[in-house]
Amino acid sequence: MRARRIGLALTVAGMLLLISRTSNMAQGPLLGGMVDQAKAMAKIGGADTRLELHMHGVLLAATVGTMLAIGLYPTVVRMSARWVVHLEQTGSIPALVRHIMLRSRWKHARYYIKRPTWSMLASLLSGAKPKRLIVLNMTVTAIYTTGVVSALYASYLWPAQGTAMSMSSGLINGMATVLLTLLIDPRLAVLSEKTLRGELPLNRMNNMYGWMIISRLAGTMLAQLLLVPLAVWLGCIMG
């Protein structure tokens, strides 16, 4: 939005999303290994009572990561706007990456560092609050955060259907995808277009995205409460 180039901004966002999804791919085998170890202990007559605690720890890590993202948000917004401009100049993602990795470019990185300030929070609290969107985004985030973790925990609780349980996270995440596609994305797209055309002030959009990231933080906390209920729900369906 700051760079006034929606198409290029979506490309940069896709690049960052690819990095995020790659990290999720690395997380999957680690979580699966924890569940396999707990199953092995159960077979020899033991019980890994720590598995649920470890799963809650994984969800807590998501909360900590989101808090870190809130701290980095102003800096990443500034840097992303610059990356969009560089993408227009270089013409491709590989060329953009090479351009960013030049040592001469990193010496200017300090100019883009910006810490969150109390004035930002005051602006959020004093502005309009999209309550419906906040609740929806919190719910979607909670479901996405615990979807895979609940499926793996269900595979431990119902080892006879372990493979089916571990592959059924789509039943959980599918609900979040529907909510995201039908109720959240269109609203954000409309606001973005209106802001780009000058029909809405930029600070209105800034406040919207501020509430979105705060509701995402709340969603990772809500995921703690959904871990076991969603695992039991999967067990009732698949069992």
List, as one string, the DSSP characters of 32-47.
HHHHHHHHHHHHTT--
Give the chain's mean pLDDT: 82
Q: Number of C-alpha atoms within 13 angstroms, CB side, residue 24?
A: 14
Q: Output the pLDDT for position 46.
A: 61
Q: Whole-angstrom Cα distance, residue 137 to residue 184?
A: 7
Gap between the Cα atoms of 211 and 233, Å rounded: 30
DSSP 3-state assignment of 129? coil
The pLDDT value given to residue 229: 95
Task: Give the pLDDT of residue 239.
Answer: 67
Exposure of 157 in the CB half-sphere (CA atoms within 13 A): 20
Q: Is 110 exposed, middle or buried (0-12, 13-18, 19+ CB in 10 A)?
A: exposed
Half-sphere exposure of 7 (CA within 13 A, CB side): 3
Q: Which of 143, 135, 139 is nearest to 229 (CA)?
A: 143
What amino acid is encoded at 130 in this protein?
P
- The predicted structure's pLDDT at residue 128: 74
Give pLDDT < 70 ranges for the chain.
1-8, 10, 12, 21, 24, 45-49, 103-105, 107-108, 239
Q: How far apart are CA 217 and CA 64, in angstroms?
A: 9
> In the prediction, which pLDDT does 194 show?
83
